């Protein structure tokens, strides 16, 4: 081992020099590590899981912190975008101090600070210029293409997660436990490709490849059978198209709607995808058992907030309180099968809504800070697109940040913390911080002042 380390020392030193000069490479590394199917501990345990992407987070936060100490650059920290992060950090600490839960309080505050504050802040400070913007977007798209290809293979070979007695649900490398993870990754990849396709001054070859990427990624998105992600990406695509060019948006939406209707009609009424689409409408009228369990968890989260209105029950304390607030009909169990794992019954550890999780564990103070962060970034990234930056890389990044924040804000309604995609989403929040901080109004056109010389008088006195 020592010999291998000595032999590889020049390569390690060169890599350290590269990431020190350009820490955005560590953002890219963390994105790619999301695909590594490793996670410590059993999937059903309530304690924190450590994934391969966490290693990238540690490196990213460490390098950015060291650069700030050795080469201070307080410029990024003077922007208004760090204020919601600061408010969220304060609410996490306060909720921990007033937490009545004996288990996980210390570990919960560290994990929540890492996810909600340190990772977005480090990503925001690691991006130094337009070249870094391209690097991050390419990494997200590459991850989506890889996971999407794995998902298509699973769907076609019946090796995905189980649904309706068939192992056809595409989950990528995330396994049956994180059934919606791949759909989220693919959704963010579609937003990247859409941003490049709509950037008029981007290279023509890149725009064409982006259209092909959108067409391909639509397949694993449908095969993931995630109703919530379908709604989230649909809203994001419509919003991005309207902000970028509303006239083109109308034509694209009409054509896309016709193609989608034809694709749904061709599948037939008995296909799994068609049943999932029909269930979107019937969910509110006759919810299935998984939806009923989710409603019970939502009620439990609201009950925790009602008894602990300001500071909540504390970070990572929801599993300790849920049985006290859930109804008698709540089963607290869900089955997992397929995608390389045997059939097992797992415990439900979260309310499956990030907003309600924050409300239950961090109270009204935490939810207000979190909503301030999300809503301010939605507005600021939309403004960044309308400001019309001259650099096509900055404009494409603004479109990506705006669309990704829409996916993030909607997916938080039905999803919460869990799995390596949580880290990916907080990296995207960091990208939105950069786009919001650099949203400038377009510079007014220089006015050319033309002075017309006064006519010489032709009048001569007599």
Listing DSSP states for 162-181 in one string gives: EETTEEEE--GGGTTTSTTH
Kindly state whether residue 416 falls inside one of the protein's structural domains: yes
- Assigned domain for 299 exists: no
**Contact status, residue 40 vs residue 50, Cβ threshold 8 Å:** yes
Q: Is 323 inside a domain boundary?
A: no
Strand runs labelled E in 340-435: 341-347
* pLDDT tops 50 at residue 456: no
Distances from the Cα of 272 to the Cα of 30, 165, 178, angstroms: 34, 10, 19
What's the predicted TM-score (pTM) here?
Answer: 0.86
Q: How many domains does the chain have?
A: 1
Domain span at 220: 17-34+50-293+333-437
**pLDDT (tens digit, 9 = 90+) per residue, 401-450?**
999 999 999 999 988 777 788 999 999 999 999 999 987 654 445 454 55
Inside any domain, residue 40: no
pLDDT digits (tens, 9 = 90+) for 170-214: 888 888 778 888 999 999 999 999 999 988 888 889 989 999 999
Contact 233, 442 (CB under 8 A): no
Q: Is residue 315 part of a domain?
A: no
328 within a domain of the structure (yes/no): no
* Between 257 and 141, residue with greater pLDDT: 141
Residue with tokens 């301030």: 372
Report residue 343 as tokens.
């059939």
What's the rounded Cα separation, in Å, for the pair 55 and 385? 33
d(CA 5, CA 8): 5
Q: Residue 462 domain-assigned?
A: no
Higher model confidence: residue 276 or residue 426?
426
pLDDT in tens, 326-361: 766 666 666 565 555 555 656 667 888 899 999 999
Q: Quick one: tokens of 135?
A: 């690097």
- Cα angle 66, 24, 20 (rounded to 5 degrees) comes to 40
């Amino acid at each position: 081992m020592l010999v291998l380390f000595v032999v590889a020392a020049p390569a390690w030193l060169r890599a350290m020099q590269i990431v020190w000069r350009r820490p955005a490479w560590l953002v890219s590394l963390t994105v790619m590590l999301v695909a590594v199917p490793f996670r410590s501990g059993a999937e059903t345990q309530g304690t924190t899981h450590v994934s391969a992407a966490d290693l990238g987070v540690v490196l990213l936060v460490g390098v950015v912190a060291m650069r700030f100490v050795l080469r201070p650059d307080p410029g990024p920290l003077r922007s208004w975008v760090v204020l919601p992060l600061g408010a969220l950090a304060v609410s996490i600490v306060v909720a921990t101090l007033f937490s009545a839960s004996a288990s996980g309080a210390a570990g919960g505050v560290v994990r929540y600070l890492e996810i909600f504050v340190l990772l977005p802040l480090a990503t925001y400070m690691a991006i130094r210029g337009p070249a870094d913007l391209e690097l991050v977007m390419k990494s997200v798209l590459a991850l989506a293409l890889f996971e999407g290809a794995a998902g298509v293979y699973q769907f076609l070979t019946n090796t995905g997660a189980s649904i309706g007695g068939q192992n056809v649900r595409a989950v990528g490398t995330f396994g049956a436990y994180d059934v919606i993870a791949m759909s989220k990754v693919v959704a963010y990849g579609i937003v990247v490709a859409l941003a490049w396709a709509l950037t008029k001054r981007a290279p023509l070859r890149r725009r064409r490849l982006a259209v092909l990427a959108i067409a391909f990624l639509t397949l694993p998105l449908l095969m993931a059978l995630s109703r919530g992600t379908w709604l989230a990406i649909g809203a994001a695509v419509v919003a991005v198209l309207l902000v970028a060019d509303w006239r083109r948006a109308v034509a694209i939406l009409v054509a896309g709607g016709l193609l989608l209707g034809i694709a749904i009609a061709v599948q037939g009424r008995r296909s799994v995808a068609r049943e999932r689409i029909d269930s979107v409408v019937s969910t509110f009228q006759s919810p299935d058992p998984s939806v009923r369990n989710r409603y019970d968890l939502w009620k439990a989260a609201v009950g925790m907030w009602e008894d602990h209105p300001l500071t909540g029950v504390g970070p990572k304390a929801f599993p300790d309180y849920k049985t006290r607030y859930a109804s008698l009909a709540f089963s607290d169990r869900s089955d997992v099968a397929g995608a390389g794992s045997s059939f097992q019954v797992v415990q439900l550890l979260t309310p499956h809504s990030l907003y309600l999780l924050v409300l239950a564990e961090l109270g009204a103070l935490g939810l207000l800070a979190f909503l301030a962060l999300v809503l301010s970034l939605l507005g600021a990234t939309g403004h960044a697109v309308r400001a019309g930056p001259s650099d096509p890389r900055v404009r494409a990044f603004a479109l990506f940040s705006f669309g990704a924040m829409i996916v993030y804000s909607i997916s938080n309604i039905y999803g919460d913390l869990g799995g390596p995609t949580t880290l990916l989403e907080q990296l995207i929040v960091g990208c939105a911080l950069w786009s919001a901080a650099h949203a400038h109004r377009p510079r007014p056109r220089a006015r050319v002042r033309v002075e017309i010389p006064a006519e010489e008088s032709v009048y001569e006195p007599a």
